[in-house]
Amino acid sequence: MTALVFNSVLLEISNQLSSQQLDDLKFLCTDIIGRKHLEKTTSGRDLFRLLTERQKLGAGDTDFLCDLLNKVHRPDLSDKLRSCESLPGSSEPDETEKAKLIIATEVIAENLARNWRKLGRKLGLSEVKLESIDRRHPCELDEIAVDVLKEWRKSKGADAQTKQLIDALRACNLNWTADKVEEKLKEQGY
């Protein structure tokens, strides 16, 4: 997503926040931003700027703000922010690579189990993103694996390649799962 699209969505969210909701968001961010800076914050725009400076918010990393919006009972704004991540402008791999990634995702989801954080870190996902995934699927390891891979694909765009997944699995000593992915791809003619 382009910076212009991202900023326009943030502006729209800022305009839809009540003063009470802004106060609640500021309260939730006290440890991250600090009281002194929050006292000067008079709009959602100001708050979003501070979160961006502290690397808690970005065009490809909206989980922290989405979580905050849900906590102040604005899931509609959280959904709006999540939906803008999938707007055109985020490129995707070609059709063949997409098909291979779908197969790899299925195999990994069936076999990853508790090692999902290790793989997520190896793929370059932030701790905030991993925590958000964990909160969304507290007891569903296969859904967590699918979400980790979805976030990785989103962050990589057209550069997401099955080989990178296999290499990351091997780097995490998940060779059996990497072998399973390669076997399934061969079975499917890739």
DSSP state of 138: T
CATH homologous superfamily, domain 95-187: Death Domain, Fas (1.10.533.10)
Cβ-proximal residues to 174 (8 Å cutoff; 6+ apart), any chain: 112, 115, 118, 119
Report the share of the chain in percent with pLDDT over 70.
Answer: 94
What's the predicted TM-score (pTM) here?
0.54
What are φ and ψ of residue 124, in 5° steps?
95, 15
At 171, the amino acid letter reads A
CATH, domain range 3-85: 1.10.533.10
Between the CA of residue 101 and those of 98, 115, 143, 181, what are the distances in Å?
Answer: 5, 19, 16, 10
For residue 64, give both structure tokens. 């922290």
How far is residue 27's CA from residue 156's CA, in Å, rounded to a whole number? Answer: 33
pLDDT at 94: 75
Highest mean pLDDT pick, 62-66, 113-117, 152-156: 62-66
Mean pLDDT value across residues 149-165: 85
Strand (E) positions, 32-164?
none
Name the least confident of 3-7, 21-25, 179-183. 3-7
Task: Let me know if 103 is exposed, middle or buried by CB neighbors in 10 A (0-12, 13-18, 19+).
Answer: middle
For residue 157, give both structure tokens. 């765009």
Per-residue pLDDT reduced to its tens digit, 89-113: 445 667 888 889 899 999 998 888 7
pLDDT at 86: 56
> Do 95-187 and 3-85 have the same topology in CATH?
yes
pLDDT at 89: 45
DSSP state of 72: T
Helix (H) or strand (E) holding 152: helix 141-156
**Is 174 strand, coil or helix?**
coil
- The domain spans of the chain are 3-85, 95-187
How far is residue 57's CA from residue 49's CA, in Å, rounded to a whole number? Answer: 9
